[in-house]
Structure 1
């Protein structure tokens, strides 16, 4: 009984430590909190108004409960973003300190992420629409790799559509290529969010995506494509779950390309993009 009460009390402490900043609060005398956007494994994100410029920015603070680990990961994310200059990647704007607590400031991307578009609006995609999204994402991924980093979290919540432009956001798990793995906490994917259609299980997929290698992001792209395809998939009631290759109706050459992403056929985003461009060109010619 005492052990349960102690565990409950510790959990309540963590809850209050990580309670979101209140709307209207001004961080570091400059950034007014307008909206709490959400949180990941170690950080919290807020839409803010920069009172010096009047612009809308995103402020990311580490969870107080994560202490030194959270601050270290926030610094790493800041270092990664400072090295990147790409129109499909949010711009790094700086780091600020408020009462001995640091936060990362970056450009706020207006738009809607793919996950919300699918779950709240019921958006579905054809195989060719999904492949064009993959092609767009290869641009920021290639830039990231050329700078010496890997994203390690290429998933639908981290892809934002703003007009005709597609952004890759959230570099909280990004690291240098080949960097030794360190303790980073939970990935933020609950059991209910696990996708269907993967014979090896989502845990194996997640571990593959977290490897500090360029092929990890391409692997993530393959599963992102499958997520988009499963948005419009309705399984037969009572039928045994099969592999994605059996469940989804895809062209043979499309299946081959996605299998290549998942199996690490290409080592670079450029080589992958060349293969995809040929595939899309063939589709346009046939159309």
Structure 2
């Protein structure tokens, strides 16, 4: 009990310290004599993300700052550098483009292009957008294409969630590669790669389930399993069960694509 109490106290002090130290930069602050902050887009576990105006080009940009409370942590710095390394490798219209990294007043930052679009989470909860079964599978197909691109480049997102997806012209945009992993060694264990793949597949399953529920109206006061609450074609159920590991999990993204084609043909 004493150890638990000490851990709890440490966490409380850490949160208080972060509250006072990790204060986002204010609107109007100019970084690198070039990027003027306009708004705070969001805060994550180790970074703060800003919308900025590039005074040199008059373009919108996004800047991510490593939290002040994390900048002396080798682990957090390594994670920050890892995200930069991954962004440098990306060359896809539906993913961020890395521009530069810089330091300012002891803090580290990197710059990305600004992608205008609605966050999928806001899209669902604020705009009340719904997806029927067919629309959900088409949306999954688009996500699978993005994940396929990453896996083909030995990159595994590891944080596929609705807040990390933007919608631009009905197409999904993947953002936030802060927890992503990259295979940079030839002797990387096959078991580890499979585990990383399946985490992305599981996340895809959760996203699919989430958007399928946007058209669900509760008829029972008692919550039931999704297999009972949702009326889905057996092909869609099969995909969900394999993505979520209820049945034999997928081992490769190409398997998902094949099952998706079969499910979409059934709904045509």
TM-score category (smaller protein): 0.7 to 0.9
Measured at CA, do residues 105 and 212 of structure 1 come closer, stay the same or move farther in structure 2, by a change above 3 Å? farther
Aligned to 2:36: 32
- Report if aligned partners of 1:160, 1:167 keep a CA contact under 8 Å in 2: yes
- Report if aligned partners of 1:84, 1:143 keep a CA contact under 8 Å in 2: no
- Report if aligned partners of 1:46, 1:59 keep a CA contact under 8 Å in 2: yes
Aligned to 1:267: 251
> Which of 75, 80, 89 is matched with 2:86 structurally?
80
Aligned to 1:200: none
- Secondary structure of the 1:124 match is coil
TM-score (norm 2): 0.85
Higher RCO (CA-CA < 8 Å; seq separation 6+):
1
Distance between the aligned counterparts of 1:237 and 1:280, measured in 2?
29
Aligned to 1:53: 57
2:122 paired with 1:139:
no
- Secondary structure of the 2:40 match is strand
* Range with greater deviation from structure 2 (268-277 or 89-98): 268-277
1:19-58 CA distance string (max 9 Å, x none): 1110010112111101101111111111111112211111
1:125-160 CA distance string (max 9 Å, x none): 101111111100111211111111100111111111
What root-mean-square deviation, in Å, do the aligned CA atoms of Structure 1 and Structure 2 show? 2.3
- Report if aligned partners of 2:235, 2:259 keep a CA contact under 8 Å in 1: no
- Secondary structure of the 2:172 match is strand
Distance between the aligned counterparts of 2:211 and 2:11, measured in 1?
40
Deviation at 1:9, TM superposition (A): 6.4
Distance between the aligned counterparts of 1:6 and 1:140, measured in 2?
40
Counterpart mapping for 1:10-159 below 5 A: 11-67=15-71, 68=73, 69-159=75-165
Distance between the aligned counterparts of 2:106 and 2:15, measured in 1?
24
Deviation at 1:123, TM superposition (A): 1.6
> Which of 227, 252, 264 is matched with 1:245 structurally?
227
Distance between the aligned counterparts of 2:11 and 2:152, measured in 1?
46
Distance between the aligned counterparts of 1:140 and 1:265, measured in 2?
19
- Secondary structure of the 2:139 match is helix
Deviation at 1:111, TM superposition (A): 0.6
Measured at CA, do residues 40 and 11 of structure 1 come closer, stay the same or move farther in structure 2, by a change above 3 Å? closer
> Which of 217, 238, 260 is matched with 1:276 structurally?
260
- Report if aligned partners of 1:113, 1:161 keep a CA contact under 8 Å in 2: yes
In structure 1, stretches of 5+ residues that fail to align are 180-210
TM-score (norm 1): 0.80
User: How many correspondences in the alignment?
Assistant: 250
Counterpart mapping for 1:186-205 below 5 A: none
Aligned to 1:231: 214
Measured at CA, do residues 82 and 178 of structure 1 come closer, stay the same or move farther in structure 2, by a change above 3 Å? closer
- Secondary structure of the 1:213 match is helix
Aligned to 2:175: 169
Deviation at 1:255, TM superposition (A): 0.5
Distance between the aligned counterparts of 1:10 and 1:277, measured in 2?
49
Deviation at 1:212, TM superposition (A): 5.2
Distance between the aligned counterparts of 1:273 and 1:5, measured in 2?
49
